[in-house]
Amino acid sequence: MGHDGVLLTEQLACYRAAAAEYDRPYTERADLRRLLARAGELPVRGEVLELACGTGRWTPVLAALGDCVTAVDAAAEPLELARVRVTSPTVRFVQADLFTWRPERRYDTVFFAFWLSHVPPSRLPAFWDTVAAALAPHGRAVFVDDGPAQAAHEDVLPDRTAPTVLRRLDDGSRHRVVKVFHDPAKLTADLAALGWTAHIRPAEGNYLVGTAMREADACHPVVSSGPASS
Ligand SMILES: C[S@@+](CC[C@H](N)C(=O)[O-])C[C@H]1O[C@@H](n2cnc3c(N)ncnc32)[C@H](O)[C@@H]1O
Residue pLDDT, tens place only, 94-139: 999 999 999 999 999 999 999 999 999 999 999 999 999 999 999 9
Q: CA dist 57 to 23, 85, 97, 108, 121, Å?
A: 8, 8, 19, 20, 26
The whole-angstrom separation of Cα 152 and Cα 147 is 11
Residue with CA at minimum distance from ligand 1 atom 24: 15
If you average pLDDT over residues 169-197, what whole number do you get? Answer: 97
Ligand 1 pocket test, pick from 62, 118, 207 with the greatest ligand atom count within 8 Å of Cβ, gives 118
At 177, the amino acid letter reads: V
Residue 115: phi and psi, rounded to 5, are: -115, -40
Pocket of ligand 1 (CB under 6 A): 8, 11-12, 15, 52-54, 57-58, 73-75, 78, 97-99, 113-115, 118
What's the CA-to-centroid distance between 219 and ligand 1, angstroms? 32
Q: Is 90 exposed, middle or buried (0-12, 13-18, 19+ CB in 10 A)?
A: middle
Flag whether the pTM goes above 0.85: yes
pLDDT exceeds 80 at position 172: yes
One DSSP character per residue, the chain reads --TTHHHHHHHHHHHHHTHHHHTHHHHH-HHHHHHHHTGGGS---SEEEEES-TTTSSHHHHHHHSSEEEEEES-HHHHHHHHHH---TTEEEEE--TTT---SS-EEEEEEES-GGGS-GGGHHHHHHHHHHHEEEEEEEEEEEE-GGGGGGSEEESS-SS-EEEEE-TTS-EEEEE-----HHHHHHHHHHTTEEEEEEEETTTEEEEEEEEHHHHHSPPPP-SPPP-
Quick: pLDDT tens for 10-62.
Answer: 999 999 999 999 999 999 999 999 999 999 999 999 999 999 999 999 999 99
Q: Which of 165, 142, 154, 163 is nearest to 212 (CA)?
A: 142
Q: What is the pLDDT of residues 188-212, one digit of tens each?
A: 999 999 999 999 999 998 999 999 9
25: CA distance to ligand 1 center in Å?
Answer: 15
